[in-house]
Structure 1
Amino acid sequence: MANITMNSILEKMTGKDKDYRYMATSDLLNELSKDGYKADSDMEIKLTNIILQQLDDAAGDVSALAIKCLAPLVKKVAEARVTEMTEKLCVKLLNVKNQHRDIASIALKTIASEVTTPTVAQCVLACLTPPLVKGITGAGMNTEIKCECLDILCDVLHRFGNLMTVDHELLLGALLSQLSSNQASVRKKSVSCLASLASSLSDDLLAKATVAVVQLLKNKGPKPEMTRTHIQMIGSLSRAVGYRFGPHLGDTVPLLINYCTSASENDDELRECSLQALESFLLRCPRDICSYCDEILHLTLEFLSYDPNFTDDMEEDTDDEGHEEEEDDESENEYTDDEDASWKVRRAAAKCLAAIIVSRPEMLSKLYEEACPKLIERFKEREENVKMDVFNTFIELLRQTGNVTKGQIDISELSPRCLLKQEVPKIVKSTNKQLREKSIKTKVCAFSVLKELVGVLPDCLAEHFGSLVPGIEKSLTDKSSTSNLKIEALIFTRLVMASHSPSVFHPYVEALSGPILSAVGERYYKVTSEALRVCGELVHVVRPLDFKGHGFDFKPYVHPIYKSILTRLANQDQDQEVKECAISCMSLVISTFGDNLEAELPACLPVLVDRMGNEITRLTAVKAFAVIASSPLKIDLSCVLDHVIGELTAFLRKVNRALRQTTLGTLNSLIVAYGDRIGSPAYEVIIAELSSLISDSDLRMTALALELCCTLMADRNSSPNIGLTVRYKVLPQALMLIRSSLLQGQALLALQRFFAALVQSANTSFDDLLDSLISSAKPSPQSGGLTKQALYSVAQCVAVLCLAAGDEKCAFTVDMLTDILKDDSSTNSAKQHLALLCLGEIGRRKDLNSHAHIENIVIESFQSPFEEIKSAASFALGNIAVGNLSKYLPFILDQIDNQQKKQYLLLHSLKEVIARQSVDKAGQAEFQDTNVEKILKLLFNHCESEEEGVRNVVAECLGKIALIEPAKLVPALKVRTTSPAAFTRATVVTAVKYSIVERPAKIDEILYPEMSSFLLLIKDHDRHVRRAAVLALSTAAHNKPNLIKGLLPELSPLLYDQTVVKQELIRTVDLGPFKHVVDDGLELRKAAFECVDTLLDSCLHQMNPSSFIVPYLKSGLDDHYDVKMPCHLILSKLADKCPSAVLAVLDSLVDPLQKTINYKPKLDAVKQEVDRNEDLIRSALRAIASLNCISGRDCSLKFESLMNEILKAPLLSEKYNSIRME
C-alpha cells in the first residue's frame, strides 16, 4: 500500500505543472519523514533518481523542497544509494558550465550533515574527497568551484576529520597550496578548512603545516594581503589545536612581533592580524607563551594608542565648553574616518591586552604598574567601537583583581588592590569625562567600570563621589537617556551607597533624591525595581539609626520618599519584582522614619498585611515585618499586631521551607519587641506549632524554632502555663533531637539555651529535666547506643542545665556523677562514659575544686578496658583543669612525667587545656603564670615518639601554645626544622599548621618572616615531613594567605612535584597466596592536590594554572580514587576561574575523564566499591559540566565527542542532567 502511494507521488513529481510538482515533492517529504517508512531496493533507486532530477527543476521552490527531502532520504536508503547520489552531485559540482552548482553544493552539505553511522560516513567520504581535492587544486577550475568545494570540505572536516586520517596529508598539501591563491575568497576559505583539518591532524602533520606557513611568512612576498592570510592562518591554527601549537611559538611569536613593529604605516590590517594571532596564542597556549608575555604586553600597550593620523595635540583633554568645537575641528582634518584603519589596530591591541589579563593572573601587579595607567588614558578613545573594547579590557582587569584577591588582606604595597587604590583618582576623573559624552553606550560602559571598581574596592569613592553626582543626575533625568543607562546609573548608585559611610552622601542627597524618586515612577519595571532598591539605600543614608551624631536633617525627605514608595506599594497591577521591592523598601521607610509617620501608619500597615495574604508577595511581606519589629524606634503596630501574629502562626504549617524559616525569625523579633501586647494564649498556639518543626532533618529550622521557644519562655509577660506547654509539647521533641548524631552548630547551641531557659521557667523541675537528659543517653531497643557526637551533645546540655539551676544543683549533679565512677560494681560502660563527659563539660564551665580528689577519681578511669571510657576520662581531666588551672594543670604535668603508660591520654588532657586557653584570653594570664617552660620541655621530648598519635597531639599542643606565647615558640620551632630526626621536623611543621587560625592573632607578624623555614621542608627527603609541610601550606592558604605571600613562586613547583606518582614509594607486600601493592605516596599526592585546590581559592594571582594542568592535573585525573576526587574539584574551579588555560589543553583532559565515567566495577565488587565508583562518576560528570560551560569548548572535537557519548548513554545522561539541575 505504501509503494502504491509512493508511486503515485513519484508520477506527479514528473508532471509539467510546477504546482503539481511542488505538491508532490511536499507529499514525498512528509512520507520520508515518517518514522515507520521503509523502501525496498527498487523504490530506493526510484527515490534517489527522482530527487536528483528535482534538484535541477527550473522552479526554485521545487528544487528547495527536493533538498529538504535529502535529509530524511539519506537515513532511509542503503549506503550504496547514498554513495551514488554523492558521486552524481560531485559531477554537477565540478561542471564548469552547470547552472545548478549552488544546489549541488547545498545537497552535498545536507548529505554530509545527515550521515549518522561511521560506515556510511566512510563510504561518502571515499567518493567525496577526491572530487573536492580536484575542485580545489585542479587546473581550469574557476574561483566559484574552488569556493564551493572549500565550503563543503570545511563542513566535512569539522564533522568527520578524525575519519579521514588516510587523506590528511593529501588534503593538507591541497589546502596549503591555496594559501597563495590570488583570490581573497579562496585564501579565506582555505584558512577555515585548514583550521578544521588541524584539530584532527597528527603531531607530525601539524608540525609540517606550521613549518610550511611559517616559511611562507619568512618568505615575505610583495603582496601584503598574502602576508595577512598567512598570519590569519597561524592564528586559526592555534585556535583550532590549542596547547598543541605551543612548541611552535618560538618560530611564530618573534615573526609576528616583527611584523607588528616593521609594517608600513598604511598596512594597519597586517598589524591587526598579528595582534589577533598573539591574542590567540595567549588564550590557547598559556603555558608556552610565558616567556613572551612581557614583550607582548609592551607591544599591546604601544599599539593601544596607535593613531598616526591623530596627533597628541588633537587628543588633549578638553573641558565641556570646548567639546563641541573639538568635534567641528575634527571634521576639518585632512583625512576621513573611512580612510583611517588604525582603529582596527587599537581594537586588536585592547583585545590582546584583555587576553593577557584573563590568562595571566600572576601578572596582575605588573599589569597595574604598566597597563592600568595606559588603559585609563585611552578612555578618551575617539572611535566608539574601540572605546567599548578599552572599557571592557579595564573591566576585565578589575574583575580579575576581585577574583584573585577575594578575602585577602593587603600587606604589600605592590599588591594588585593597593596599586589599584593609587589609580582611583585618575579612574574617576577619566570616567567622569565619559559621563559627559553624548554617546549612551559610552556612559553605560563608564558606569560599568565604576560598578566593578566599587565591587573590588568598596570604600574607594568617599573622596570622589561629589564629582560623579552630575553624571548620575543627568543620566537619570535626561530625556535622551535609555532604560539601560538609567538601570546602570541606579545600580552604581545603590552599590556605592551600600559600601560607603552615610556621611559621604549627605551633601548630595538633595541633588540625588529627586531623580531617584522620579525613577520610581518610571513605566519600565526594571528601572522601577532598581530605583526602589536605591531608595532603600537612600533611607539608610539620610537617617542611619546606628550612626549617632551625624547632624543631618532628614525630615524634609521623609514624606517625599514615603509617598513615592506608597504609590508603588498600593498598585496591584505591576510586575512581581516591583511589588517585592516596594514592600522591602516600605519596611525600611517605616523602621527608619516611623516616628515621623505616625499619622500615615494606620493606612500603610494594613497594605503590608494584605500583601502577606498574597502567595506571590507573602515571603517578602513577612521579612518586612521582621525589619519593622527590629527597629529601635519601637513602631506602633497595635492596629495590625494581632492579625500579623495570627497569619504568621498559620504560616508555620505551610510546606514552603523558606516561608517557615522567615516566619520563625519574624515571630521572634515581634515577641522581643511587642511581647507585652501579644499575650500568653497566642504564645501557647505558637508553641504547639513549633513542636513539629524540631527534628534533625532540618537543623537550621530546628535552631530557629528553639530560639523562638526560648524567647517565649524568657518573656516576662508569659504565664506559668507557657513552661508547662513547652514541657509537654516541645521537650519530647528536644529529647529525641539530642540523640541525633547530626546535631551540631547553631542547633546544638539553641538546644543548650532551651534547657537553660526551661529549667528557669515555672512548672519545670530540675530533677525531672536531668533524669530526662540522662535517660535519653541510654541505649534503646530500636536504635541501640548513642553515637559519640550524641553523647557529647547530652553532656553539654547537662552542664548548661546544672549551671542555670544554681550552685546547689550543680554540686549535687557532680557528686552523683562521681559516685557513678567510684562504683566498682558498675558494669554499665555507657553510663560511665556519659558521666565523664558531663564532668568535663561542667568542669570547663565551673571550678570543681570543692569536690575533693575529683582528679584522682577521673584518672582512675584511664585503667578501663574500654577505649571510649579512657578517651572520655582524658577529655574530662583536661576540661576540669580548665576550670582551675592553678590546681589541676600541675597535677596533669606531674602525671605525664611519672606515668609512662598513660602518657598518650594525659597528653590529650593537656591538649584540652591548651586548646581552651588559646581561644580564651581571660585564662591566658593564669596559664602563662604556670610553668610554661616545663610544658614545652615535656612536649619537645615527645616530638620523636614512635607513635603517630602522640606526635600529632604534641604538635597540636605546641601550635596552640604558639598562639599564646608566639615570641617564645616560633624561634624554638624554627630551630628544630633542621633536626636530624624526621619525626621532629614533621612535628614542628604540623605545630605551625595548628598555629595558623582564621582569626587575627599576635603570632602572625612573628610567623610571617619565618614561614619559608617551615614550608620549604616540602622538599625534605622524608615523605612524612613533606606531607606535613603540604598540610601546613594548605592551612596557611585557607586561613592566612598573606603569610605565604611571595613564597609561592618558589613553593609552587615543589608542591606540584608532590602530585606525581613516585615509583620509589610503591612497594609490593607478599601475603602468601597473593601480593598486595602498597602506595606510600598516595596520602601525600592527595594532600598536594587538596592544597592546590585551596591555593586556587585564595592565591590565584600568584599561581600559574597553565603550568599545572599539564602534566600534573592530567596525571591526577588518571590516578587513584582518593586523588581523582580533588582533581575533579580543581578542574571545575579552573574551568570557572581560568577558562582560557583549561581550553588550551582541553583535548588532553578528555581521555582520563572518559575512562573514569566508563569504568565498570568487577562483578564480585562489594557495595562499598560500587558506591565509591558511582561517587567518582558523578564527580567526573560535575567537572565535565563545568568544562561544558567554557566558551569556545566546541573547538575541541574530542570534548564534543565525549559530550555526545554522555548524552546518548541513558544512565550517564540521567546523571549528567541531574548534576546540571543541582
Structure 2
Amino acid sequence: MALHDLAASVQQVYPGQGLDARIEPAMVSQVLALLQDTHSDVKNLAVTTLGHLVSRVRAPRFATMVETLCAALRSNDEEERDIASMGIRAMFHELRASERSADTMHTLVHGLVPFLTAQIDAHQDARQSIALDVLNDALTLAPSHVAPLQASIAPTLLTHMTSERSAVARRAIQGLAHLAAVSTLETWTWITEQGLAGLVPPFNNEAASVYLLHALAREVPTRLATQAALRVEQIQGVLQRADERDETDELRESCLLTLQAMIAGDLHASTRVAIAHTAQSMLAYDPNATEEMDEEDEEDALDVSDDDDLAWRVRRAACRLLSELFAAPGAHDLCAMAPALAEALYERLREREETVRLDALAAVRLVARTCIDAPLAMHGLVETLQTWRGASAQAAALTALSELMTCHALSLQDGPAIMRMCLHALESDTHAASYVAALGLVRHVARQAPAMAHEAAGPLAASLARAVLSLQHRVGLEALYACTPFFANVSLAAPEPAGSLLEAILARCERSDADASVYDAALVAMYTALCVMGERVGHRLAPILSLVHARLSLETTRARCLQIVQDWAGCDAVRSLAPVLACFHACLPLLADLASRPATAVEALQALHAVARLLGSEALATVQQVVALGPPAPDASSLPALLAVAELSVQKEPPRARATAEALVLPLVPQLARVPPPALLALCRLISVVAAAEEAVAPALVTALERAWDAQSHEPGAPGAMAYAQCLCAAASSSVALPAVLARVEGLLQAPHIASQTLGYMTIGLLGQQGTLLGWPHAPAVYAQAAASTVPGQAMAMGGMLLSDVSCQAPTVQALTNGEASALRVLREALKLASESQVRSLAPCVWAPLLSAPLCAAAPDATAECVARLVTDDAARFFELVQRMQASDACGRAMALGAVRAMLPLDREHDLDAALETCAPSILQRLSDEEVLVRHAAVMALRAGLQSRTSLLLQALPPFLASLYDLTRVRTELQRQVRMGPFTVVHDDGLDLRKNALETLGALLDTSLAPQVAMDVLMCVVRALQDDDSVKLMGCLLLLHVADVASEAVRHALPDLAPPLQAILARKVRENATKQETEKAAELSQAAIRVVGRLAQLDPASLAVAELLERVASAAPGAVRRAAP
C-alpha cells in the first residue's frame, strides 16, 4: 500500500521538475532495495515506480540508479537480472514519453551501451542473453541516441550472430536489424557485407546470414530494396544448396519468409517474377515423395499427418509467399504466370495438412481476384474442394467459392458441384461456420450466376426456408439476406417452393425473437418477391401487405417500409394489383401524419408523391391536407419533397393553383436567400406550374417577388438577387404569363434603385438563357441600356440577350474585333449561361476575334477562359488553338497556353484527351520560350495537367524536364530596379515563375516519375533554399515532399542541403523589423526546423544532421522533437 502511494505521489511531480532534495535520496534507495524483495508483486511495482522516478531525480541519484541496475545485470541470480532488465526498460519508456528528458536519455544510453557490449563480449552464457535483450530495448526505444554509438555496437553483434547458442544468435541478429534502421551508409554496408557473407562462397555460416537477411527484410525492407535482385538470387542459391546438402526444413522456410518480407520494399517487376518462380518450385517440395507412391491413396492422405515431417511448413511458406506477392502493389505484372501458379496451388489443395490447404486456397483467391482476365482452370478446384471434410475447411471452401463467384472465375459447368456443396452444408446446422458460409455462397450464386441455381431451385428454397426459421440469429439473418437475390433471379424457376419460402419468412416475422435487423432483411426479401412474382404470390399477398402496413407505424422499420411503398408504387408488376391499391389507400392517412413530422418528412413525402401519382384524384385530399400545413423552414431537408407533392397537386387539379401559391409559394418568397439550391429548383418548377395553371397568379407572384427583394436588398448585388431572378423566370415560363412578366421587368430597369435594376438585369439574363426573348421587340433598346449601365448584372443581361437575339451579336462581335475588354466580359457571361448547343451556334462569329492579338493583349485571362469553353464544346477547334501557340506575339502564345490550362481540369474523360496527348510536346516546348510571360503560362498548364490529366503528359515530359528545372534558377536579366519614394528596390519579374515551377515539381513527385526525378528536384531545392524568403519556404515544403517519396535520395543529398539550412537557421531578424517581417521569418524558421526533424529520422547518425540539430537546439531546445512529422 505504501509503495502504491509512493508511485502515485511521484507521478504528480511534473517530469523534469525534480523531487524534494531532502527526501529524494531515501526514496531512490528504498525503491532500489525493493527490487530485491521476495514478493513478485512488490518487485513489479518497484520497477514501475523506478520508471516514474527516472525523469524526476537529479543527476547523482540517476547515476546511482543506473549503477545499481548494471550491478544487478552482472548478478549470478537469473531473477535479479530479469528485474534489472525490466527496470531499464521502464526507464526507457518513461524517458521516451517525456520531451524534457532528452539529455537524461542521452546519458542513460551512453552509460549503458559500453557496459552492455562488454557483457556481451564476456562470453558468459547466463549474462549474454539478458544484455542483448537490454541492448535491443535501447535500439527500439531510443534509436536516435544509440545511433552515434553504432561503430562500437555493430562489431559485437556481428560477432555473436554466429554463436552456437541459438538464443544469443537470435538476439544478435534482431539487434543488427534494429541497428540497420538508424545506421549510416558506412555501417549499413558493413552489416550487409559482413553479416551476409555466408551467402557468398565459401558459404560459411550460411544459415545465420539467411536469418539476418530475414530480419533486415522485415525491419528495413525499403532500404534493402536496392539490393533486392542480388539477395533474391542468393536466396535461390541457398535453396538449391539445401537440396544438395540435405539441410533442415527450417532453413528453407526461413528463405521463403525472407522473400515474403522483402516484398514490402519497392521491388522491380523482374525481381517479383523471380520470387514467384521460387515460390512455385517450393510448392512441390516433399522430401518423402517417391514415384512409386500409390495415387489411389490421395483421398486417404487428407486424413493422415506425419508429425515428424515438417516439410509442410515449407509448402505453407510458399503459399503465403504467393499470397503476399498477389496482395502487394504491382501484382498485375505476375498475371502471365497466373495459370501455372494456380495449377501448382491446386495440387496443394490435396495436401494432408489442413493449414497448407487453407493457405493455398487463400493464395488462389488472391490470384483470381488480381488476374480476373487470366485463363484459370477452376473446374479441378471445385472438384477438389468437394472432398474437403471438417467444418473449418468446408467453411473456407464455401467462402472461397463465394469470392471466386464474385470475380466471375467459375463457369456454368461447375454449377452442379457447387450446388451439391451448398446443399450438403445446408443439410445440418450443427456447424455454424460452414452453414453461414453456404448461405453466403447461395447469395452470390443467385446474384452472379443464377443459371447455376435454376435446376436446384426447389431444394435451395426448402433449405433457405429451414435456415430462415433457425433459432440461431446469425443463421436466420444470413438466410434472409440470401432470399433477396433468390427471389430476384431464381424464384420464377420454382414459384411454388418460392411461395413456401415466403411463408417461412412471414412465420419468422411472427416470432417473438424477431428484432429490427430480421424485420429489415425480411421486408427487403418480401418486397423483391412481390416485384418479381407479382400475382404469383397468391394468397401470401395479403399477409405481406398487412405486415408492411403494420410496420409502417413503428419507428424501427418505418424508413424501410416507406421506401418499399414508394418503390411498389413505381413497379409495374405490383401497382396494378387490387390488394396493393387498397393497401395504398389505407396508408394515405399514415403517410400524411408522417409527412408532418420532421424526422420522417422526407421519406414520407417521397412515398406520398409516388402513391399520389398512382392513385390520382383519389389521393388529392390527402395531398391538399399536407400542402395546407404550409412550408417548413427554408433550409429543411423536406422542402424539395413537399414542393414536388404540391406541383403534382396543381397538375392533377389546376384550380388549386391559387391556394397552393398562397399556402407554399408566398410564405417562402421573403426567405428566398435562405433556400438551398435543390429546394429553389423545386420551387421554380412549382411556380412555373402554378403560373401556367391560372393566368392571374403570375402577376401576383411577380409583385410579391418585387416587394420581398426591395425589403431585403440594402446594397447592390445582394446575394439573394439570383434566387429572385430565377423565380421571376419561372413565373414567365408560360407563354400566357410572359408578356406580363416582361413588362414588370422593364419597369424594374426604369426604377431609380440599383437593387431593382440588378434584379431586372439578372432576370433578363436568365430569360435569354432559356431562349424566351427571341423576337422581343424591346431587346435592342434594353441591350443598349445595359451596355451604358454599370449596375451589377448588366453584363449578365447582355450575355443572355446575346444568346437569344441575333440582332445583339453584331455589336458584340465588332467590339471584340476592336479589342474592347468590356465586350469580352459580356461574352464570358454569355458562355457561363450557355448550353452546349448555344455555344456551338455562337462560336463561328466570335472565334476569330477571340484569337486576335489586340484582345489577347488587353485581357489574356478572360480571353483564355472564353476560348477554353468554346474548344471544350467543339474539340475540332483545338488544333487551331495549338497553332496559336506558335504565334509571333507573346500575349497570343500565353493566351493559348492559358486556355489549355483551363481545359485540363475536366472532371471526366473527354474527346479532347487524344488531341491533348498528341499535342503535349507543342505545349511543353513553351517551357523554354524566350518570353517570361509564356514560360509562366506553360508551367501553370503543366501543373494543371499533372494534377488532372497525368497520363496524357507523362510520356512526353522527360525530354522537357531540363527546361522545367531551369525555371527554378534566378535570372539577373529579369531583375530591375524600381524607385519607391526615396528608396530604390529590386523587383524580380521571375519570382512568381520560380514559385510556380517549384509547385509543379511538387505535383511531379506525386507521379510515377518521382524516383527518376528525385535527385534533380533536390538540386532545385538547394537553389530554392538560397532564394527569396517566399521561395525558401516552398523549398522546405518541397524537401519534406521528396523525403516522403525518395528518402534514399535525400540521404545522398545531405551535404548539399545542410549549408543553406544552416544559413536559414542562423539568420537573425533585424531589430526594427515590421510585424509582417517577423511573422514571415518565424514561419520560415519553423519550416526549416521541421525539415531538420525529418532529416534526423532519415539519417540520425549523419554529421551534417548532427550539426543542424545542434543549431536548432541552441536556438530552441526541444524544437526538433515537436516539429518532426
- Shorter chain as denominator, the TM-score bin is 0.7 to 0.9
Distance 2:957 2:456 in 1: 50
Q: 1:749 aligns with which of 675, 678, 681?
A: 681
In structure 2, the CA distance between the partners of 1:800 and 1:260, relative to structure 1 (3 Å rule), is farther
Distance 1:294 1:157 in 2: 34
1:864 and 1:870 in contact (8 A); partners too: yes
- Which residue of the partner structure matches residue 861 of structure 2? 949
In the TM superposition, what whole-angstrom CA distance separates every residue of 1:549-599 from its partner, at most 9, and x where no partner exists? xxx556324422321221232334245422322233333334444534564
Q: Which runs of no fewer than 5 residues in structure 1 stay unpaired?
A: 1-25, 402-418, 544-551, 1096-1102, 1153-1160, 1188-1207, 1217-1222
1:753 is displaced (CA, Å) by 1.0
In the TM superposition, what whole-angstrom CA distance separates every residue of 1:409-430 from its partner, at most 9, and x where no partner exists? xxxxxxxxxx73353x635663
In structure 2, the CA distance between the partners of 1:210 and 1:394, relative to structure 1 (3 Å rule), is same
Distance 2:271 2:278 in 1: 11
1:191 is displaced (CA, Å) by 1.9
Distance 1:429 1:1123 in 2: 64
1:136 is displaced (CA, Å) by 0.9
- Which residue of the partner structure matches residue 701 of structure 2? 769
Distance 1:1146 1:702 in 2: 57
Q: Which amino acid in structure 2 is aligned with residue 791 of structure 1?
A: A
Q: Which amino acid in structure 2 is aligned with residue 516 of structure 1?
A: L
Distance 1:1125 1:621 in 2: 57
Q: Does 1:517 align with 2:465?
A: yes
Q: 1:1023 aligns with which of 936, 946, 950?
A: 936
Q: 2:377 aligns with which of 426, 451, 461?
A: 426
1:861 is displaced (CA, Å) by 1.9
Q: 1:305 aligns with which of 281, 294, 309?
A: 281
Distance 1:982 1:876 in 2: 33
In the TM superposition, what whole-angstrom CA distance separates every residue of 1:8-56 from its partner, at most 9, and x where no partner exists? xxxxxxxxxxxxxxxxxx5533553356889866765555555545544
Q: Which runs of no fewer than 5 residues in structure 2 stay unpaired?
A: 14-18, 930-934, 1059-1068, 1098-1117
1:896-975 to structure 2, matched below 5 A, reads 896-897=816-817, 900=820, 903-905=823-825, 907-908=827-828, 911=831, 915-918=834-837, 927=841, 936-941=847-852, 944-963=856-875, 966=876, 969-973=877-881, 975=883
SS of residue paired to 1:1079:
helix
1:245-324 to structure 2, matched below 5 A, reads 245=224, 252=231, 255-256=234-235, 258-259=237-238, 263-265=242-244, 266-267=246-247, 269-270=250-251, 272-284=253-265, 286=266, 289-290=267-268, 293-307=269-283, 309-310=285-286
1:769 is displaced (CA, Å) by 0.9
1:449 is displaced (CA, Å) by 5.3
- Which residue of the partner structure matches residue 335 of structure 2? 368
Distance 1:255 1:211 in 2: 13
SS of residue paired to 1:230:
helix
User: 76-85 or 519-528: which moved more?
Assistant: 76-85
- Which residue of the partner structure matches residue 113 of structure 2? 129
- Which residue of the partner structure matches residue 1107 of structure 2? none
1:605 is displaced (CA, Å) by 3.6
1:744-893 to structure 2, matched below 5 A, reads 744=677, 746-761=678-693, 765-778=697-710, 780=712, 784-787=715-718, 790-804=720-734, 807-818=735-746, 821=749, 823=750, 827-846=752-771, 848-852=773-777, 854-855=779-780, 857-866=782-791, 868-881=792-805, 893=813
- Which residue of the partner structure matches residue 93 of structure 1? 73
Distance 2:783 2:1031 in 1: 40
In the TM superposition, what whole-angstrom CA distance separates every residue of 1:1058-1082 from its partner, at most 9, and x where no partner exists? 6998244897885736777743344
- Which residue of the partner structure matches residue 137 of structure 2? 155
Q: Does 1:628 align with 2:598?
A: no
2:762 and 2:794 in contact (8 A); partners too: no
Distance 2:37 2:884 in 1: 92
2:923 and 2:938 in contact (8 A); partners too: no
1:503 is displaced (CA, Å) by 6.7
In the TM superposition, what whole-angstrom CA distance separates every residue of 1:1020-1064 from its partner, at most 9, and x where no partner exists? 542312322443565546xxx7xx4xx645548978996998244
In the TM superposition, what whole-angstrom CA distance separates every residue of 1:424-472 from its partner, at most 9, and x where no partner exists? x6356635643553365555555555555666x6x77685673564266
1:482-497 to structure 2, matched below 5 A, reads 482-495=431-444, 497=446
1:154 is displaced (CA, Å) by 1.3
2:716 and 2:758 in contact (8 A); partners too: no
- Which residue of the partner structure matches residue 113 of structure 1? 93
2:813 and 2:846 in contact (8 A); partners too: yes
Q: 1:537 aligns with which of 469, 480, 485?
A: 485
Distance 2:642 2:155 in 1: 76
- Which residue of the partner structure matches residue 4 of structure 1? none
Distance 1:432 1:734 in 2: 69
Q: Does 1:343 align with 2:315?
A: yes
User: 746-755 or 60-69: which moved more?
Assistant: 60-69
Distance 2:202 2:795 in 1: 81
SS of residue paired to 1:192:
helix
Q: Which amino acid in structure 1 is aligned with residue 478 of structure 2?
A: E
Count of residue pairs brought into register by the alignment: 1044
Q: Which amino acid in structure 1 is aligned with residue 469 of structure 2?
A: G
Q: Which amino acid in structure 1 is aligned with residue 804 of structure 2?
A: I
Q: 2:151 aligns with which of 169, 180, 186?
A: 169
Distance 1:556 1:900 in 2: 79
In structure 2, the CA distance between the partners of 1:314 and 1:529, relative to structure 1 (3 Å rule), is farther
Q: Which amino acid in structure 2 is aligned with residue 174 of structure 1?
A: T
1:795 is displaced (CA, Å) by 2.8
2:52 and 2:91 in contact (8 A); partners too: no
Distance 2:832 2:78 in 1: 92
- Which residue of the partner structure matches residue 580 of structure 1? 520
Q: Which amino acid in structure 2 is aligned with residue 141 of structure 1?
A: Q
Distance 1:213 1:955 in 2: 65
Distance 1:1057 1:258 in 2: 47
Distance 1:462 1:1112 in 2: 52
1:146 is displaced (CA, Å) by 0.8
Distance 1:607 1:618 in 2: 12
- Which residue of the partner structure matches residue 1010 of structure 1? 918
1:466 and 1:508 in contact (8 A); partners too: no
Distance 1:1126 1:587 in 2: 61
In structure 2, the CA distance between the partners of 1:433 and 1:958, relative to structure 1 (3 Å rule), is farther
In structure 2, the CA distance between the partners of 1:118 and 1:940, relative to structure 1 (3 Å rule), is closer
Q: Does 1:192 align with 2:174?
A: yes
TM-score normalised according to structure 2 size: 0.78
Q: Does 1:229 align with 2:211?
A: yes
1:358 and 1:396 in contact (8 A); partners too: no
1:344 is displaced (CA, Å) by 5.4
In structure 2, the CA distance between the partners of 1:787 and 1:446, relative to structure 1 (3 Å rule), is farther
1:152 is displaced (CA, Å) by 1.6
- For the aligned residue pairs, the C-alpha RMSD in angstroms reads 5.4
Higher relative contact order at CA 8 Å, sep ≥6: structure 1 or structure 2? 1
In structure 2, the CA distance between the partners of 1:707 and 1:615, relative to structure 1 (3 Å rule), is same
Q: 1:661 aligns with which of 599, 602, 610?
A: 602
In structure 2, the CA distance between the partners of 1:890 and 1:1058, relative to structure 1 (3 Å rule), is same
- Which residue of the partner structure matches residue 32 of structure 1? 7
Q: Which amino acid in structure 2 is aligned with residue 862 of structure 1?
A: A
2:228 and 2:271 in contact (8 A); partners too: no
1:605-644 to structure 2, matched below 5 A, reads 605-632=545-572, 633-634=574-575, 636=579, 641=584, 644=587
- Which residue of the partner structure matches residue 1102 of structure 2? none
In the TM superposition, what whole-angstrom CA distance separates every residue of 1:907-948 from its partner, at most 9, and x where no partner exists? 4377468x5234x7xx97xx4xx9x76655444435854522
Q: Which amino acid in structure 1 is aligned with residue 131 of structure 2?
A: C
1:715-730 to structure 2, matched below 5 A, reads 715-716=652-653, 720=655, 723-724=657-658, 726-730=660-664
